[in-house]
Structure 1
């Protein structure tokens, strides 16, 4: 697939997806969501890729929100479909990828941009980043999972205030609230995030995939996360990664995981 709105670079097991609509502050329109879906899906199938990092082009914005011009005149029915399709195609899709996805938040992450960052497995922010869900100032609510993921990350009370006031928080505020894991200078953002990716890559990709599934299970209605963990734990014993990991430990050497 030829991409018009995203860039993909791959190096040493790390894939970097850059949302590339600088003239729109990387706002998410339908075409960009479709390209991201395809990009993430292709990287998940790529055996050479172990970790995915997603960021925005330029220094101003990760993603400044959804492209409001696309849905300003939507009906109730169209609005409902917009949210349902977007969640399925991108936000839930990213959250449930088998490979780790890290958001490198450079600049503004607003509305759908923050929702995309929250769908990633964790977040690193540049020190100039600002985050918020301003939808109520437009007469609507977050529709790409924001009302669900924000309380999971920072707690109900803080999430209520952020959504009701439509306000933004700084990178430091986001760090203190648990919304992001690290805050670094913008010039260091990508290399710092890749450094975390390299640490992840030293471990078993199969085990990491099982861990993602088990952690996510705790936040799904009707799913017993403990049972999911037990099943995934048992399945690890049948993998080549488990045999290599335990053998390497007993032989007092570093494991070289085959990813199987």
Structure 2
């Protein structure tokens, strides 16, 4: 990432296991986003996507909030800039990222912060966390996907109330509605996110990347076309496999099936 004055506001670290951590680090302002922070975050995800040592990404915020949205003291600079510039678009780069992104949500995910959470592939939330859409309250038009993604996840009627009445979604409601995968104690948030990341790392990494892509690409289509997409990519995948790869697959399955099944469920 470039040497900019906001670089320390978006922290990117990597561990030896292949997990990268992106942390929004402006806690005194509840992690509100400036234009330069958005650009740094976009470039952070772009670089992690290219880094072959990175297998899974965990996104979180420092302090009392995940992200309280755009810093409205610089609103005109943010909203009237080149909003179509993909290189500096945080959500566009998250959506382009091939690696799984796990969002660890504590405190508040508000408006743009909510949209960043929706760009994650899996969400873990701490008890007491809230997702709030204040676009309508402040006269801001959504441009990072909230108006389209939320209704597809929790249903249009719920989404209308959340967005048009600025009604918060608690972590627990989010879990019931399919927005949040897990709700945990605050102190367990990153531990749970890491556990999910580690489970993903144990699997075939080529398939993990392909699975993320086919799920996310299929969500943009109607079911018929999505099923055709899956079939097409499956054929491409198997046609690209060598006899040696098929042999290894068969040996792996045989070794697994020969083990005694566990008595534990």
Q: TM-score range by the shorter chain?
A: 0.7 to 0.9
The equivalences for 1:1-260 within 5 A come to 1=1, 2=3, 3-11=7-15, 12-58=17-63, 60-72=64-76, 78=80, 81-82=82-83, 84-85=84-85, 89-220=89-220, 224-237=225-238, 238-239=240-241, 243=246, 244-252=248-256
The 3 A distance-change label for structure 1 pair 186 and 248 is: same
Check whether the contact 1:87–1:144 (CA below 8 A) recurs between aligned residues: no
Residue aligning to 1:257: none
* Cα distance, 1:51 vs structure 2: 0.5
Secondary structure, counterpart of 1:4 in structure 2: helix
Secondary structure, counterpart of 1:131 in structure 2: strand
Secondary structure, counterpart of 2:60 in structure 1: strand
Equivalenced residue count is: 249
* Structure 1: runs of 5+ lacking an equivalent: 255-260
Check whether the contact 1:5–1:21 (CA below 8 A) recurs between aligned residues: yes
CA RMSD of aligned residues (A): 2.5
Deviations 1:162-198 (Å, cap 9, x if unpaired)? 0011121211111111111100011110011100111
* Cα distance, 1:111 vs structure 2: 0.3
Where does structure 1 differ by over 6 angstroms across 4 or more consecutive aligned residues?
none
Check whether the contact 2:35–2:77 (CA below 8 A) recurs between aligned residues: no
Structure 1: distance between partners of 2:78 and 2:109? 24
* Structure 2: runs of 5+ lacking an equivalent: 259-265
* Cα distance, 1:253 vs structure 2: 8.3
TM-score (norm 1): 0.87
